[in-house]
Structure 1
Amino acid sequence: MPRSLTILGASGSIGRSTAEVVLAHRDEFQVEAVVGGRNVPALAEAAKRLNVKFAALSDERAGPALKEALSGTGIASGAGRSAVLEAVDRPSDVVLAAISGTAGLEPTHASLKPGRRIALANKESLVCAGAAFMADARRLGVEIMPVDSEHNALEHALAAGLNRDVEKAVITASGGPFRTWSQEQIARASAKEASVHPVWSMGSKINIDSATLMNKGLELIEAHHLFDLEAERLDVLVHPEAIVHGLVQWADGAVSAGLALPDMRVPIANALRGQERLVMDLPRLDLAAIGRLTFERADEARFPCLALAKAALQAGGAIPTVLNAANEVAVEAYMAGNIGFYAISEIVEAVCSSFSGSGKAPATVADALAIDGEARVMARRLVPAS
């Protein structure tokens, strides 16, 4: 019997790659529902290609247009928060959670239902409310499978031993578009330059997080919750070829690593699979053809956002939630041309340093969203008026 699947963030890059995996294995999946933001044509096309039963957009104003776009297909639709939660509540075996940013926190958490598998691509669920999210997942018997290539690689590498024997779990970074730029050049970089990723095709916000290396910092926080590893046992290594996605240094000196070509369909297929791996018609990794793999330390002087994220992980409590909220506000301001590149880290550092709310880690998603809202107000005060 086909596994039923719900795709949150179906019109984004992860959602589109998921559709390719599903369409290549039509006999193994039935897509129950798809959820998008406000892009009516993209979501309607995905809904029809995947022959879903229900489609929802988070933007309530887009409801009539979505209904019109799906007219005659037999696909039910809705828009707004209630429609998104309805999509989440519909019966499915697997939920691919790929709504980006804090906007994905509530629907991803609502997806936690007994016996489900969550293919997790929304890192904010763990950055903002990691302890509460993982506690609820354990209580409900939900299996969390990471979709990020780095965490998917660590999942494989960690299977080679016991958690207590891990000396260091390392995720890799391509280094972003400014890996070889001087600090002075980076300071003058435009949002357009920052949004061009050298390896992956992602959304603009994630591309800019990759340029600042904040994305790697958020992934460290995510790894802490996914794999129950302390900050001292987590690190980042720059690897421009993006072939080694994660590696584990063991207590006996051995190293286990997860390697693959940089194609998101690989970790998606792994996260969606049942007992057996999906057969994927993709290019195979040819190390002889590649010839050389290079690695270097991350430069936290040129990329201070990584240092801020590491500090937030060390501090714990509410600070990772605050860090993420301030970063989202600062990146939005940078994309709008209101601040320079290094003002992103300056705003994040200022908000994390002066946050006056409860220092406790959020016990619920509602707590996380309240902390998020307070931090956003603080960050917006630091953005110059446009």
Structure 2
Amino acid sequence: MVTTVALAGSTGSIGTQTLEVVAAEPERYQVVALGAGGGQVDLLVTQARATGAAVVAVADETKALEVEAALPGVEVRAGTKGLASLGAEADVCVNGVVGFAGLEVTLATLEAGRRLALANKESLIAGAPVVQPARRTPGAEIVPVDSEHCAIHMCLRSGDPTGPDRVARIVLTASGGPFRGRSRADLAQVTVDEALAHPTWSMGPKITVDSSTLMNKGLEVIEAHELFGTPYDAIEVVVHPQSIIHSMVEFTDGATVAQLSLPDMRLPIGYALAHPDRLAAPFGRIDWGQLSRLDFEPPDLDAFPCLRLAYEAGRAGGGTPALLNAANEVAVEAFLGGALTWSGIPDVLEEVLSRHDGGDPDSVEAVIETDRRGRAAARTVIAGRS
């Protein structure tokens, strides 16, 4: 039986690797819909021709005519609504859209009662108040694509017969990023190039900077809480520089189940596509004769305060995670553009959280408004620092 796949964010890192997974087992998967922001129209067109996708969406409405001209006979949809509509086009929709823009894709997929292969953590973190009700749609399910949450998903399946009340804690592993072991003083003058030099993963610039500040791990803590219902006091972060153990679940009897593989995002992507089955093609297979050590250490919250701020925002609940996420996107953009130092990122976030209340958004419009307020507050703080 062929599984149909819709892919939002097809030109990004997750999107291109998803197409590699599909190509590895073409008899199992058929890409029927593709969509991207519009920054790489030529690549989107090439992907559509290669996959034979019947529907293509481009979020940038100004690029729609260009895509239509290049793809005769293909239905082209424009704007963010067009991109979100891909969620109802297939058995499973991979949401690889970067940032808060992925919220509409997440909601459309779940509300259509489809499986969501979720690589866009921000939409669940910021939009949890509206995403959680959508998860109750008959047929809707989320299978996480983040390597850490995919690992937790696998580990929890090993304990299914015992039930969630037998989970003692979730342990999220972090590589530590490019600045592991450096003090706060050492990090005062780091450059963009240094922040983008991740030691393990090849990712987009925003996610890579988030990894360098440990905000990526902080957002993953909030996401783990929302995905699995685990209390924040039972979610722990540990630095594991080899990135072989992708996360762990400890059960009440003291047993810990871990998921291990070499770093390869195609493994969690394939897991989400095949669930509850598994791929036949191996990704991230370990050569146990070559693996010599696994190291662990606690995160340095003084040097990397973003992780602490994420825990605080998660515990505050309501719209506070959305406020944090929005402010972080603006702060990272400012850092990449040279308007803010790396060490200034957590300072901006702390100031935004101290001055603004996230409220309790109960609709998509309210979530969008919270996001808008967070972005505006961050821009004000950054402007005041220059």
User: With structure 2 as the length reference, what TM-score do the two structures score?
Assistant: 0.95
Corresponding position of 2:103: 105
Corresponding position of 2:82: 83
Corresponding position of 1:369: 368
Contact kept, 8 Å, 1:119 with 1:272, in 2: the verdict is yes
CA–CA distance in structure 1, aligned partners of residues 316 and 67 of structure 2? 44
Structure 1 counterpart SS, 2:237 = strand
Shift of 1:366: 2.1
CA–CA distance in structure 2, aligned partners of residues 255 and 88 of structure 1? 36
Shift of 1:4: 1.2
The answer to whether 1:27 aligns with 2:24 is no
46-55 or 4-13, which deviates more: 46-55
326-335 or 175-184, which deviates more: 175-184
203-212 or 158-167, which deviates more: 158-167
The answer to whether 1:201 aligns with 2:202 is yes
Contact kept, 8 Å, 2:55 with 2:76, in 1: the verdict is yes
CA–CA distance in structure 2, aligned partners of residues 319 and 356 of structure 1? 7
Contact kept, 8 Å, 2:17 with 2:266, in 1: the verdict is yes
Contact kept, 8 Å, 1:58 with 1:81, in 2: the verdict is yes
The answer to whether 1:179 aligns with 2:177 is no
Over residues 28-86 of structure 1, what are the superposed CA-to-partner deviations in whole Å (9 max), with x where a residue is unaligned?
11211111012101211211221111111111111122223324xx3232322342234
The answer to whether 1:67 aligns with 2:68 is yes
CA–CA distance in structure 2, aligned partners of residues 182 and 115 of structure 1? 47
Structure 2 counterpart SS, 1:288 = coil
CA–CA distance in structure 2, aligned partners of residues 94 and 113 of structure 1? 13
**Ranges of 4+ aligned residues in structure 1 off by more than 6 Å:** none
Corresponding position of 1:137: 135
Contact kept, 8 Å, 1:126 with 1:222, in 2: the verdict is yes
226-235 or 190-199, which deviates more: 190-199
In structure 2, what residue type is equivalent to 1:85?
A
Structure 2 counterpart SS, 1:4 = strand
In structure 2, what residue type is equivalent to 1:230?
P
Corresponding position of 2:259: 258
Shift of 1:305: 0.4
In structure 2, what residue type is equivalent to 1:249?
E
Corresponding position of 1:322: 323
Over residues 151-207 of structure 1, what are the superposed CA-to-partner deviations in whole Å (9 max), with x where a residue is unaligned?
011011112332112221011111001113232221100112101211111100000
Over residues 189-241 of structure 1, what are the superposed CA-to-partner deviations in whole Å (9 max), with x where a residue is unaligned?
01121012111111000000000000000001000011010100101111110
Of 151, 154, 167, 1:153 maps to: 151
In structure 2, what residue type is equivalent to 1:33?
A
265-274 or 129-138, which deviates more: 129-138
In structure 1, what residue type is equivalent to 2:4?
S
The answer to whether 1:337 aligns with 2:338 is yes
CA–CA distance in structure 2, aligned partners of residues 75 and 293 of structure 1? 49
For residues 296 and 356 of structure 1, do their structure 2 counterparts lie closer, same or farther at Cα, with a shift above 3 Å needed?
A: closer
CA–CA distance in structure 2, aligned partners of residues 274 and 159 of structure 1? 11
Within a 5 Å distance, the mapping from 1:143-292 to structure 2 comes to 143-161=141-159, 162-282=163-283, 284-292=285-293
Shift of 1:268: 0.6
CA–CA distance in structure 2, aligned partners of residues 70 and 323 of structure 1? 40
346-355 or 139-148, which deviates more: 139-148
The answer to whether 1:12 aligns with 2:2 is no
CA–CA distance in structure 2, aligned partners of residues 366 and 346 of structure 1? 28
In structure 1, what residue type is equivalent to 2:116?
I
Over residues 275-298 of structure 1, what are the superposed CA-to-partner deviations in whole Å (9 max), with x where a residue is unaligned?
431111445212331111111101
Contact kept, 8 Å, 1:67 with 1:78, in 2: the verdict is no
Please, what is the CA RMSD of the aligned residues? 1.6
